[in-house]
Structure 1
Amino acid sequence: MTVETFKLPDVGEGVAEGELVRWLVEVGEEIEEDQPLAEVETDKALVDLPSPFAGTVTELHAEEGEMVPVGAGLVSVDVGGDEDEGAAESKSDPETTATDAAADDGSEAAAGRVFASPSTRRLARELGVDLAGVAGSGPSGRVTDADVRAAVEGTDQPTPRSPDESATSVVTERDATADAESHRESADVVTTAAEAAGRMGSADRERTLAAPATRRLADELGVDLDAVPTDERRDGEAFVTPAMVREFAERGGEAEPEAEAEAASPPAEAAPPTDDGPRPGDRIPYRGVRRAIGEQMEQAKYTAPHVTHTDEVDVTRLVETKAELESYAEAEGVSLTYLPFVMRAVTRALREFPQVNASLDEAAEEIVCHDDYNLGVATATDAGLMVPVVEDVDRKGLLDLAAETAGKVERARDRSISREEMQGGTFTITNVGVIGGEYATPIVNHPEVAILALGRVAERPRVVDGEVVPRHTLPLSLSVDHRVVDGAVAARFTNRVMELLRSPARLLVD
């Protein structure tokens, strides 16, 4: 018997430890090379760790919820015989395994192996595709999700995908050929185990969107997400929340009769939580992504002296323009919101006020005015606030911005976004209006020097030509680093943004 110990690899620059969130294997289980072993959360992201070898799991060296240092033993596997020493070193080397653990990392260190991210390998197992026979269309021959789907469909070219379909939380197609289905059932260890334990309900949908926390809850309760009734939609697909999963489980996997739904609803005081968040009396570990967010906020608040300027803009014409463009955008497969209009207006204003698109180099004692326009979009996730960055906003059209922003926001919520996609921002926008807010005092995303909070677009009374009339307005809150941006500059910058939003036609042309 030859036992190899897989050590926690360095899954990101500067990461010293990770929290073992969930084991995906158990002692005695036969595993395949590249099969995900565990979910590990660092202060950068949540990643699946693939096994560098095949064999039988003999020991798990950590408990779920435990913090594991990089380089510490994680799991031992009986590989079933003597192995070439050099090959063994290569497979157990953290630098080698880190490549597959960090999704979207283009570098590959192990020669002779199929290049693919963990999410792509998972998709291949679900569809019964042997990656060794798939030609990769990605950088350096890397196999992509589109390559796997093309292999199932028997086509030569990858199938184009919409921006949001790269999120790993999306349940992949189940209407593949019967041959692919039979292969998938024999190869997908996770699905087989779930079926053996007995899933509640039967798959009524082909695809279901849900946050990772919701999927974990469904696994714990033995619920098939595709059978959970839902009226909510995300990007045209069914979306399931933790509350829906709990209700479905409490009914024993039975769909609630429509006629009895209202009568069977629990009273308001007994209603289940609307999310999978903390409950009264819980003690929540302050670590991982949440601690990283807190430390970043603390640094920003105590490093930069903040001042916030507020105003309100009449966006009645913007509301009309958006309504006129929605059908055109929908025909192009894009869901149009107000955000891309604001992004274009902000970029135009940043060109005129470069000190707002800046950072302070304290070591060199210089204010750096950036010539790139990379806008961060603050996004609420189940792990806390994340800020995916849309690069080169000044070079992109309205629909391109809408599609790219939606895709990155969805990947942030599903925790499948790469660390690189959240770096390099020069200005940040946060939308408090989506939850009903109007004004805020947002914290600057250090080392940037400004952040703009959007309130709720709504009809409010305004005086026009001496008469009080209803007009659609948008509250704005601009926080700045007062070391770099004076209050007068903040006001003039906001005025310019407002001027552009009042005349949205100007945002449709370069």
Structure 2
Amino acid sequence: MALELKLPDIGEGIAEGEVVRWLVAEGAQVREDDPLVEVLTDKANVEIPSPVTGTLVKILAQPGQVVKVGEPLALIEPAAGQVVAARRASESPDRPTSVSREATEPGQGSPSGKDAGAGGGVLATPVVRKLAKDLGVELGAVTGTGPGGRVSEEDVRGAAGAGAPPPPPAGGANEERVPFRGKRRMIARKMVAAKTRVPHALLVDEADVSGILAERAKLRELGEREGVRITILPFIMKAVVGALTLHPALNASLDEEREEVVLKKTFDIGMAVDTEEGLVVPVIRNADAKSVIELAKEIERLSEAARGGNLAPSDLSGGTFTVTSIGSIGGLFSYPVINVPEAAILAAHKIVARPMVRDGEVVPRDMMYLSLSFDHRIVDGGAATRFLNEVVRRIEASAA
């Protein structure tokens, strides 16, 4: 009897994933723990291994399809003697994959009747039932195309008239259409969630980074010995962490369900990395305990891993505040989007030599704009301003 391979609960609040590609074909023999499918979540790409030795008899989720946690990805026919092991594996909370109950034939619903439920013995998950209710579709009138006649989301949408793709738009040779999926789609969802859920407020200031540039020059030789390139970003992070210790409201998040502001006791700083496939935000753990050289090493390690697509899910979760540095690309200043559920994000911009008045004299100084976006539900303008003032003060503390 074939077993359903479900999208497991990967943790970190992940509710769904997009199938990127299958690593084996239908009909292939697989061994336990062989990687079967690559799935993209809003944290990272993960490979789902086979929980049993057997045959991959049918792929249920195609590349580009978004699957919710607990929904089936494929059917696996276990080898002889593997069924008991498969059932044990599905009950193990530590396994990175999840195997559901055996796929049933029509009329062989679960003993509890939960899968059939109210709807004339129709095989459908609770998610599909809710979708049918929302769209006004009678499940009993839908022909299921899933295993054992199970009704899928696509079946319900098709019955509601929402499943048919729209006709191809005009345009022809004058335009190119690129599928909106993968990391781009995940990024889009996060951006929409951030801008619709969180009332953003923006604060902009400037800092004299002449002293930091001088300090960086002094550390370059040490950096070469340590095998790391010293940029301005670790100095900015040191200033940010120092300011967060004095202004904990910025190192926080809002638990909307419990209606509580969560003040973080650790300083795990996210850093936005621009990659060919889109923006990713790996996290530097315990940034307050790291020196400039140690921060530079971690920045370099995570940046390389991000651009190579080798970040682990743990590298992309649990941030308490984010710093984005786009100065090397350009732009005077920006309005960064908060990395929800964090309370704020700071953007550092390009360094420009400008004439400034110091002690009554006009002198050339290296200046940088800083922009702070913050969640106005939990941070007031005064608190945000005092925080940014402290960041600027710390940046300029070593200015000559």
Higher relative contact order (CA 8 A, sep 6+): 2
Q: Where do 5+ consecutive residues of structure 1 fail to align?
A: 103-278
Contact 1:427 1:450 in 2 (8 A): yes
CA displacement, residues 29-79 of structure 1 (integer Å, 9 cap, x when unaligned): 554443322222234431122233445655544433334454425254674
Distance apart, 1:439 and its partner CA: 0.4
Partner of 1:431 in structure 2? Answer: 325
8 Å CA contact retained: 1:455, 1:476: yes
- TM-fit CA distance, 1:377: 1.4
- Structure with more strand by fraction: 2
> What TM-score do the two structures reach when normalised by structure 2?
0.68
Which residue does the alignment assign to 2:87?
89
Distance in 1 (alpha carbons) for counterparts of 2:365 and 2:320: 32
Between the aligned partners of 1:447 and 1:501, the Cα distance in structure 2 is 27
Matches within 5 A, 1:355-434: 355-361=249-255, 367-434=261-328
Are the structure 2 counterparts of residues 378 and 467 from structure 1 closer, same or farther at C-alpha, using a change threshold of 3 Å? same
Amino acid at match of 2:208: D
Structure 2 residue aligned with 1:26: 25
- Whether the 8 Å contact between 1:43 and 1:290 is mirrored in structure 2 is no
Instruction: Provide Cα deviations, 1:153-189, integer angstroms capped at 9, x if missing partner.
Output: xxxxxxxxxxxxxxxxxxxxxxxxxxxxxxxxxxxxx
Distance 2:194 2:387 in 1: 21
Contact 2:6 2:97 in 1 (8 A): no
* Greater per-residue helix proportion: 1
My pick for the range that moved more, 394-403 or 477-486, is: 477-486
Residue of structure 2 equivalent to 1:476: 370
Q: Is the 8 A contact 1:9 1:97 kept in 2?
A: no
Aligned positions of 1:196-345 closer than 5 A:
280-285=175-180, 289-345=183-239
Measured after TM superposition, the shift of residue 373 of structure 1 is: 2.1
Residue matched to 2:157: none
Q: Is 1:38 matched with 2:34?
A: no
Aligned residue for 2:95? 99
Distance 1:362 1:17 in 2: 20
The answer on whether the counterparts of 1:326 and 1:335 sit within 8 Å (CA) in structure 2 is yes
Report how many residues are paired: 323
Corresponding residue number in structure 1 for 2:72? 72
Is 1:499 equivalent to 2:393 in the alignment? yes
AA at the equivalent of 2:325: N
1:336-371 Cα shifts (integer Å, max 9, x gaps): 221111111111112222333333455666554433
2:225 maps to amino acid: A
User: For 1:397-448, what per-residue CA distance to the aligned partner results, in whole angstroms no more than 9, with x for missing partners?
Assistant: 2222222233233334444333343333222211121321230111223333
User: Which digits, 9 at most, give the CA deviation of each residue in 1:1-23, with x for residues without a partner?
Assistant: xx855613315235555332222
- Give the 5 Å matches for 1:127-142: none
Q: What TM-score, normalized to structure 1?
A: 0.55
TM-aligned CA distance change 1:10 to 1:463, over 3 Å: same
Measure how far apart 1:485 and its partner are: 3.0
Residues 493 and 27 from structure 1, CA distance in 2 versus in 1: closer, same or farther, beyond 3 angstroms?
A: closer
Distance 1:466 1:479, change over 3 A: same
SS in 1 for 2:311: coil
- The reply on whether 1:47 has 2:43 as its aligned counterpart is no
The 8 Å contact of residues 379 and 387 in structure 1, kept in 2 or not, is answered as: yes
Percent identity for Structure 1 against Structure 2:
41
